[in-house]
């Protein structure tokens, strides 16, 4: 099937009605957020502001340990769903990971969402001495790990022998609160990872590709780039596409009455290399900046309209924001909640 083939053409019975919005905040417990001691309060604030999910990244730099932190949040929050974004499969054996995750799901009374990824930041591997394998090998590790996890997260017996993982007569315990298992999200930017996510995940997080240093490629942050990736997911998912939830994270929110002026300033700063997190690998325009799903610039009404337009153009409906911008996004969330 061609990457350009749409679900409507190939599977005319599949509904393409947009999902309702969901909103995720996140926290790492770093110094910018007030450190580890204020981490629980940060999640509680996200709950109070009406976010649906609170997600924790998985880095080996100055942040909390995600699994221990989720355990703490399981008993210190009551309604907000708890997620990882995204656990690096090379850091943990899936048999060990499954036990931690099902325990968290039970303790949180069924509020866990499991985000998984390849492990994209080379610094984490270099500094820890964990081998930074080729993308193909990390993808295989994720694929095999998902097979092991899927059985154990259902409370079933896992029997698996792959090139990387071998599990024999191991039964998942405790059984998770959610059935048949907690939902799995996969973060993906490259084609093969998008295709794997389309086949195996419940939620596909559409991410810009990044360099080995973890910088986001500016060429991959455009609306057209996102639409192309969604087409890849559609083609790989086939009939199950209707069951998939698509997500993305807004990297920057700037509330302003002059979108064009701020976009022009941001563009010039990026071109001068003043953005530490973005790699300039393509010439972009102000319209590219204003249209990017990953950049939200404007009044609250304009940002809300941009989020609606992104869902209309791509089908993505699960919106994430960085922790330091939860309050800035809260008025937008109020407008979109329930849509």
pLDDT tens-digit series, residues 44-99: 999 999 999 999 999 999 999 999 999 999 999 999 999 999 999 999 999 999 99
Query: Is 44 contained in some domain?
Result: yes
Read off the pLDDT of residues 1-12 as tens digits, 9 standing for 90 and up: 333 333 334 433
CA nearest to 319, candidates 287, 296, 300: 296
| Domain at 301, CATH number | 3.20.20.30
Query: Is 6 contained in some domain?
Result: no
Determine the pLDDT at residue 81: 98
Q: Domain span at residue 287?
A: 22-336
Query: Is 13 contained in some domain?
Result: no
Query: Is 270 contained in some domain?
Result: yes
Query: Is 12 contained in some domain?
Result: no
* pLDDT at residue 190 tops 60: yes
pLDDT above 70 covers a percentage of the chain that reads 93
Residues 6+ positions from 315 with CB-CB distance below 8 Å: 16, 18, 19, 230, 246
* pLDDT at residue 13 tops 80: no
* pLDDT at residue 153 tops 80: yes
Chain centroid, CA 188 distance in Å: 8
* pLDDT at residue 173 tops 50: yes
Query: Is 78 contained in some domain?
Result: yes
* pLDDT band per the 50, 70, 90 thresholds, residue 170: very high
Query: Is 131 contained in some domain?
Result: yes
CB 292 within 8 A of CB 299: no
Query: Is 180 contained in some domain?
Result: yes
Give how many domains the chain has, as a whole number: 1
Determine the pLDDT at residue 8: 39
CA nearest to 48, candidates 334, 339, 338, 335: 334
* pLDDT band per the 50, 70, 90 thresholds, residue 213: low
**Angle between helical axes of 326-336 and 300-314 (0-180°, round to 10):** 70
DSSP string, 262-325: HHHHHHHHHHTT--TTEE--S---HHHHHH-TTEEEE-HHHHHHHHHHHHHHH---EEEE-GGG
Determine the pLDDT at residue 226: 96
Helices assigned H by DSSP within 32-134 = 39-49, 66-76, 94-107, 122-128
Say how far apart CA 86 and CA 59 lie, in whole Å: 9
Determine the pLDDT at residue 3: 34
Helix (H) or strand (E) holding 260: helix 259-271
Full-model pTM: 0.90
């Amino acid at each position: 099937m061609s990457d350009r083939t749409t679900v409507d053409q190939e599977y005319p019975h599949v509904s393409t009605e947009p999902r309702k919005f969901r909103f995720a905040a996140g926290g790492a417990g770093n110094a910018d957020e007030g450190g580890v001691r204020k981490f629980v309060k940060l999640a509680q604030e996200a709950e109070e502001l009406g976010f649906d999910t609170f997600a924790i990244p998985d880095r080996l730099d100055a942040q909390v340990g995600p699994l221990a932190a989720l355990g703490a949040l399981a008993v210190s929050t009551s309604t907000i769903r708890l997620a990882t974004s995204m656990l690096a499969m090379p850091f943990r054996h899936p048999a060990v990971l499954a036990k931690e995750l099902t325990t968290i799901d039970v303790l949180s009374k069924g509020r866990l969402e499991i985000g998984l990824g390849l492990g994209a930041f080379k610094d984490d591997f270099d500094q820890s001495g964990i081998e930074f394998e080729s993308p193909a090998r990390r993808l295989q590790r994720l694929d095999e790990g998902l097979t092991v996890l899927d059985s154990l997260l259902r409370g079933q017996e896992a029997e698996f022998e792959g090139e990387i993982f071998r599990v024999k007569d191991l039964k998942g315990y405790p059984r998770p609160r959610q059935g048949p298992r907690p939902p799995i999200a996969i973060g993906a930017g490259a084609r093969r990872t998008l295709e794997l996510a389309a086949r195996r995940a419940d939620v596909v997080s559409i991410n810009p590709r990044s360099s080995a240093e973890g910088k986001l490629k500016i060429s991959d942050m455009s609306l057209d780039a996102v639409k192309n990736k969604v087409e890849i997911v559609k083609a790989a998912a086939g009939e199950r596409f209707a069951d998939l939830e698509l997500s993305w994270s807004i990297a920057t929110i700037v509330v302003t009455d002059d979108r064009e002026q701020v976009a022009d300033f941001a563009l010039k700063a990026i071109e001068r290399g003043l953005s530490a997190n973005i790699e300039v690998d393509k010439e972009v325009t102000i319209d590219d900046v204003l249209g990017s799903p990953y950049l939200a610039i404007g009044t609250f009404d304009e940002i809300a309209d941009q989020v609606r337009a992104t869902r209309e153009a791509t089908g993505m409906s699960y919106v994430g924001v960085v922790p330091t911008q939860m309050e800035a996004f809260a008025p937008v969330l109020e407008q979109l909640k329930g849509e």
